[in-house]
Structure 1
Amino acid sequence: MESSLVAGKVVPPAPARRGLAVPRVTAEELEEIASRGWPAGETARLGDWTLRASGGFTRRANSVLVAGDPGVALDDALAQVERWYAERRLPACLQVPDSSAWAQRIDAAGWAREADTLIRTAPLAPLTSLPEPPAHLGRVRLSRDVDAAWLAAYHRTGELTDAALKVVSGGASVWFATLPGAAGHPGPGAIGRAVVDGPWALFGAVEVPPEHRRGGLATALMGALARRAYEEGATAAHLQVEADNAAARALYDRLGFTDHHGYHYRRPLA
């Protein structure tokens, strides 16, 4: 009872846990953040557009990020794009957010659409509570440097020239994750990559060999990367997934990711 109270103090409410909300950003803003996490070896500006080249390693690092105004008429901009990539012996390619004001005009110019992709986001804090890997596999190894085991499990190993390795290793704060495989199975059980850039953590290259799938390894690996990103101050996660990759989309659904926006690529018709 209050009559028997000797002393007391006001206890403030517990502080809200960081990383329970996703910052509000536009499609173009998030595309710029994602581009920094997969940086091209060479870039050039055409108004607000960014031309990117990396010896042909991945569409993202060898395409024009269409954002804002190119500063010239569209026909002239597309012609300049084709010349720039031809000088580097690369096919011209545009990366266009679905919501871009240029999408319909580029379509009318006869550039074919391909590789529809989704950008998905999630609060980071819940990902830090994902379970550890099964005890018999040990812990996820995190490294600043990409090693031979990681590269051996990466499906693009045959394409990893020096230029490609610069893309894979580039970004503000890059972490490579490797989870050992079960006894009798050579190579890692899963690999992944994360790049911390301010409040954002970009997840990518999450791969699990067929013999290790359906064992929660991708989830455990993402949890380890999320915990490290959270320690560095990140509050939100983002990733790219091809729109027709139903298995990956289902995994990310279970982890709390939702669609932020879509983008696609455009190439000139032959």
Structure 2
Amino acid sequence: MSTDVSNLPLGSRVVVRWRLEVPDPATGATLTDAVGTLVRRDAATVSVETSRGEVTIARDRITAAKELPPKPSRRGAAHLALSVEDLQRVMIPSWGAVERATLGDWALRASAGYTQRGNSVVPVGSPARPLLNAVTEVETWYAARGLPAKFALAGPQGFDPAGDPLGAVLLTRGYTAGSRTLALTAARETVAAADPGGPALTVSRELGPEWLEAHRGTRATVPGATEAVLLDSPRVLFGSITPGGGLSQQLGLRAADAAGTAPIALARLGIGAGWAGLGAVWTDPAYRGRGLAAHLTAGLAARLRQEDIALLHLQVEHDNDAALRLYRRLGFDVHSSYVYLTAPLP
């Protein structure tokens, strides 16, 4: 845990450890924890709403603090115990955006068109106004940025958007449903233990030029916006596998390829809300089927021990059978799903 509370989002669930002014007379303890919602923060103090009421703590007494996942809403494994809405909240900070805004509880993101996640609304909670008014405000916000309004509407696996109150409104306004996506979750130790083995990994907090250049070859990117999105999470880890270090024999690389520095496998972890979100996973087509994606994913999961993060999530389109087989082998389970509802073009 860090002593810095400046980057902990207001409204997040946190634990703050701090020094008592005098030892506890019953136990002699000199430290105590406040667990709850971070409600206020200024230069001198932070305030946490706990189950016993609000606690205000002087910053110079804080010895450690970190963000926690939302409370479980059901029994079972920790990675499956969140509600659908809470998992959506957890996923918001793991993928970046150039611009963020809120409408009540809804989270709006715009990123010049780079990725659907970076240019969509997460409509969880209440927008704090009538539904039709909220939809109109969202449409206006995106139109001002030259983008169509897009909602990431979540529900159980296989849910029908027409059966959701917001989904029904959007469909009657001509929105189209597409890119049905599964949200998968797993425990860190399960994924790390499933490592099939392989070459050395490079893991960095920096977005290096080689990583970025390889990523540009995997999808359409937007200069400036792409870098901003990839770096926007509270904490980020960029993982890669490059030729060399004995990899040439393992993969049968040609001499020219073995001498290169361009990554042949990539992945990104965005850390926020007490979870890590896996994304931007890619393997050079020439080296697929050799376990590189599994090895890189498991290696990044193991690295999360240093980050004090125990749970992972990722998103896969529902018909991407190859990816689903990979992640199930690594110990991921389907938690829920979402579908993008996109406004018709003018």
The CA distance in 2 between the partners of 1:102 and 1:157, in whole Å, is 31
CA shift for structure 1 position 72 = 2.5
Partner AA of 2:268 in structure 1: R
The CA distance in 2 between the partners of 1:145 and 1:160, in whole Å, is 19
Matching residue within 100, 122, 128 for 2:192: 128
The CA distance in 2 between the partners of 1:176 and 1:234, in whole Å, is 16
Report sequence identity in percent.
34
CA shift for structure 1 position 22 = 2.1
- With the length of structure 2 as denominator, give the TM-score of the two structures: 0.67
Matching residue within 75, 79, 84 for 1:27: 84
Does 1:152 find its partner at 2:227?
no
Q: Classify 1:229/1:192 alpha carbon distance in 2 versus 1 (closer, same or farther; 3 Å).
A: same
Partner AA of 1:237 in structure 2: L
The CA distance in 2 between the partners of 1:117 and 1:269, in whole Å, is 20
Choose 41-50 or 99-108, whichever is displaced more: 99-108
CA contact (8 A) 1:195 1:203 kept: yes
Partner AA of 2:325 in structure 1: A
Q: Counterpart in 1 of 2:316?
A: 241
Q: Deviations over 1:80-111 (max 9, x none)?
A: 22211111111211111135552233323331
Q: Deviations over 1:215-263 (max 9, x none)?
A: 1111110121011112221111110111111110111111111111100
Pairwise mapping of residues 131-210 of structure 1 onto structure 2 (< 5 A)?
131=195, 133-134=197-198, 138-154=199-215, 155-156=217-218, 158-181=220-243, 182=248, 183-184=253-254, 185=257, 186=260, 187-197=262-272, 199-210=274-285
CA contact (8 A) 1:202 1:237 kept: yes
The CA distance in 1 between the partners of 2:82 and 2:136, in whole Å, is 31
Q: Classify 1:115/1:198 alpha carbon distance in 2 versus 1 (closer, same or farther; 3 Å).
A: closer
Does 1:90 find its partner at 2:154?
no
Q: Classify 1:124/1:101 alpha carbon distance in 2 versus 1 (closer, same or farther; 3 Å).
A: farther
Matching residue within 172, 188, 203 for 1:108: 172
The CA distance in 1 between the partners of 2:174 and 2:118, in whole Å, is 23
CA shift for structure 1 position 58 = 0.8
Q: Counterpart in 1 of 2:41?
A: none
The CA distance in 2 between the partners of 1:226 and 1:133, in whole Å, is 13
The CA distance in 1 between the partners of 2:222 and 2:305, in whole Å, is 29
RCO greater where, 1 or 2, for CA within 8 Å and sep 6 or more?
1
Q: Counterpart in 2 of 1:11?
A: none
The CA distance in 2 between the partners of 1:172 and 1:124, in whole Å, is 19
Does 1:46 find its partner at 2:107?
no
Partner AA of 1:149 in structure 2: E
Q: Counterpart in 2 of 1:264?
A: 339
Q: Classify 1:198/1:111 alpha carbon distance in 2 versus 1 (closer, same or farther; 3 Å).
A: closer
SS state at 1:202 partner = strand
**Which stretches of structure 1, 4 residues or more, deviate above 6 A after TM superposition?**
none
SS state at 2:294 partner = helix
The CA distance in 2 between the partners of 1:121 and 1:103, in whole Å, is 25
Q: Counterpart in 2 of 1:7?
A: none
Structure 2 unaligned regions, length at least 5: 1-76, 157-163
Q: Classify 1:51/1:131 alpha carbon distance in 2 versus 1 (closer, same or farther; 3 Å).
A: closer
Cα-Cα RMSD: 2.0
The CA distance in 2 between the partners of 1:253 and 1:107, in whole Å, is 33
Q: Classify 1:131/1:23 alpha carbon distance in 2 versus 1 (closer, same or farther; 3 Å).
A: closer
Partner AA of 1:79 in structure 2: T
Q: Counterpart in 1 of 2:161?
A: none
CA shift for structure 1 position 158 = 4.8
Partner AA of 1:82 in structure 2: E
The CA distance in 2 between the partners of 1:196 and 1:229, in whole Å, is 9
The CA distance in 1 between the partners of 2:219 and 2:336, in whole Å, is 29
Structure 1 unaligned regions, length at least 5: 1-19
Pairwise mapping of residues 56-71 of structure 1 onto structure 2 (< 5 A)?
56-71=113-128
- With the length of structure 1 as denominator, give the TM-score of the two structures: 0.84
Partner AA of 1:225 in structure 2: L
CA contact (8 A) 2:298 2:330 kept: no
CA contact (8 A) 2:84 2:155 kept: no
